[in-house]
Copies of this chain bind each other. A is one copy, B any other.
Amino acid sequence: MDLFFSKNIKKEKQILSLDESKHCLLSLRKKINDKIWLTEGDGVLYSADICSIKNKKIEYNNLQIISKKINSPKIHIAIAPTKNKSRFEWFLEKATEIGVDEISPLICKNSERKIINETRCVKILIAAMKQAQNSILPKLNKPIVFADFFKKRKKNIYIAHCYDTEKINFKNILFNKKKKKENITILIGPEGDFTTSEIMLSEKMGGTSINLSDNRLRTETAAILASSIAKTIL
């Protein structure tokens, strides 16, 4: 199954973008009358036929809905971008493959990186979605300062940190969760960890301090393990 991304499948003019058309024609050597699969990244998977190629762009017809996918519950990872860009990009790829729904780059006191290249990050997410034959593209939010994060979100927030305070094992929390279908948010700190005031703020706002492993995990590993644990149990 060769999956392509389009922002405007439901629009009247059924045309693939130049990038997607290139991938389809040059890398995968598709031709007129070949079948392709399409998604807007919203969980809906379509099939269509290539009917013509104009100005290097593919036009398609016979659009049909093949399936609709909804992740329930949804997993939102709020993560401090790593100092080393490629580690954050690895996280984006793996999170898409595993099936994370939403990603918020989190700007913390100890963050060494406070900006991300959004265009590049979205490209990585789309490539991973296509490769994984997943019809859900994680929503990438704008970077947000730690304290502001709690202005909108109040419920089912878990904060993973390395301080030796009272923490609950994340998998035990999820195993004991009565309403397993509630969406959850997991906060993952930067290389220097959250500060104690950030943890106190999170707890004041209803966040729960969690422990993911006996080992000290890198930022991107913690995020992928937390996503995997949630996917396994919920």
Binding site for B on A (CB under 8 A): 69, 90, 93-94, 97-99, 131-134, 171, 213-218, 221, 224-225, 228-229, 231-233
Contacts and interface: CB of A to CB of B under 8 A. Distances in A.
Contacts of A98: 213, 215, 217, 221, 225
Contacts of A231: 213
Given A90-B90, A224-B224, A97 B217 contact: yes
Contacts of A97: 213, 215, 217-218, 221
Given A134-B214, A224-B228, 17 more contacts: A69-B214, A97-B213, A97-B218, A97-B221, A98-B213, A99-B214, A99-B215, A131-B216, A131-B218, A132-B216, A132-B217, A132-B218, A134-B216, A171-B232, A213-B231, A225-B228, A228-B232
Nearest to A222: B97
B99 A221 contact: no
Contacts of A131: 216, 218
Contacts of A225: 98, 228
A163 to B, nearest CB: 14
A99 B213 contact: yes
A132 B231 CA distance: 23
29 contacts: A90-B90, A93-B221, A94-B221, A94-B224, A97-B213, A97-B215, A97-B217, A97-B218, A97-B221, A98-B213, A98-B217, A98-B221, A99-B214, A131-B218, A132-B216, A132-B218, A133-B215, A134-B215, A134-B216, A171-B232, A213-B231, A224-B224, A225-B228, A228-B228, A228-B229, A228-B232, A229-B232, A232-B232, A232-B233
